[in-house]
Amino acid sequence: MNGNGAPILATKGISKSFGPVRALDGVDFEVGRGEVLALVGDNGAGKSTLIKAIAGIYSIDAGELFFEGERVSIRGPNDATRLGIATVYQDLALCDNLDVVANLFLGQEELAPGPARAIRALDETAMEQRSHELLDQLSVTIPSVRSEVGTLSGGQRQQVAVARSLLGEPKVVILDEPTAALGVMQTKQVLELIQRLRERNLAVIVISHNLANIFEVADRIFVLRLGRKGGVFDATKTTEEQIVGAITGAEFGEGETGEMRRQP
């Protein structure tokens, strides 16, 4: 349940300040292959900062990043992508006026073979074929791969955004609030998609405010509180109350119960 072997991505004591505000304060964090790790915390607890540090949006002030056991430095989004870390942000960044195929391959279009390559002609047939394969593997249900993305539901759009992140064959997928603003059925579709990412042996990091969703999908729950680690919990052996306690700091002191229940 807790990933296979060594963590694929780990941080050791990373810190990040914005002026006088210490957004991250010596955070140790790790996620393994085939594991869904939920990242929770109150507003301003440092969730986004942690994600952006891993995704290369922010540079860290102190601490170390390890990828597949090796120390790495991530200086920009491209470094993260090259390592195999894909991030799906809350606003999805899709072009509503383009169809699903065009969005999946945006910025990495397949070129037609032969002389047409000289003028960078598109190979629509190949892209459509690969889109079908990818979406079928993920059991994503959309009316047609030629539907304009703007006509899709919120859940379908989220699924397209996740599918797009998989085209680069990443090893770690970070999802920022994937179920925010979704209806019940759509939320379920997205949660099922997350399960399938785990089945593909990807490491999945999910930021969410919705504890019910988290308990449905996560293997472990990592709590951030005021920029520090508030504990790591096994989702099958923890109650929502305990997580809420760790988030608010009301019931459990830093690392007490949380640390006791922390998985090896």
Residue number, 184 or 250, with CB nearest to other proteins: 184
List Cα–Cα distances, 11 to 19, 27, 62, 88, in angstroms: 22, 7, 11, 20
Q: Smallest distance, Å, CB 248 to other proteins?
A: 25
Taking the C-alpha atoms of residue 124 and residue 187, their distance in angstroms, rounded to an integer, is 31
Select from 216, 234, 244, 261 the one that contacts other proteins (CB under 8 A): 216
Contact status: 167 vs other proteins (CB under 8 A): no
Select from 61, 66, 68, 151 the one that contacts other proteins (CB under 8 A): 151
Kindly write out the interface string for residues 117-146 of this chain, putting x where it contacts other proteins by CB under 8 A and - elsewhere: --xxxx-xxx-xx--x------x-xxxx--
The token pair at 14 is 């990373």
Q: Smallest distance, Å, CB 249 to other proteins?
A: 28
Taking the C-alpha atoms of residue 32 and residue 231, their distance in angstroms, rounded to an integer, is 17
Residue number, 96 or 256, with CB nearest to other proteins: 96
Any residues with CB less than 8 A from the CB of 186 and at least 6 apart, and which?
A: 153, 154, 155, 156, 158, 179
Residue number, 20 or 107, with CB nearest to other proteins: 107
Q: Tell me the three-class secondary structure of 41-52, residue by residue.
A: ECCCCCHHHHHH
Taking the C-alpha atoms of residue 193 and residue 163, their distance in angstroms, rounded to an integer, is 9
Residues that bind other proteins (CB under 8 A): 93-98, 102, 106-109, 111, 119-122, 124-126, 128-129, 132, 139, 141-144, 148, 150-151, 153, 155-156, 183, 185-186, 188-189, 191-192, 195-196, 199, 215-217
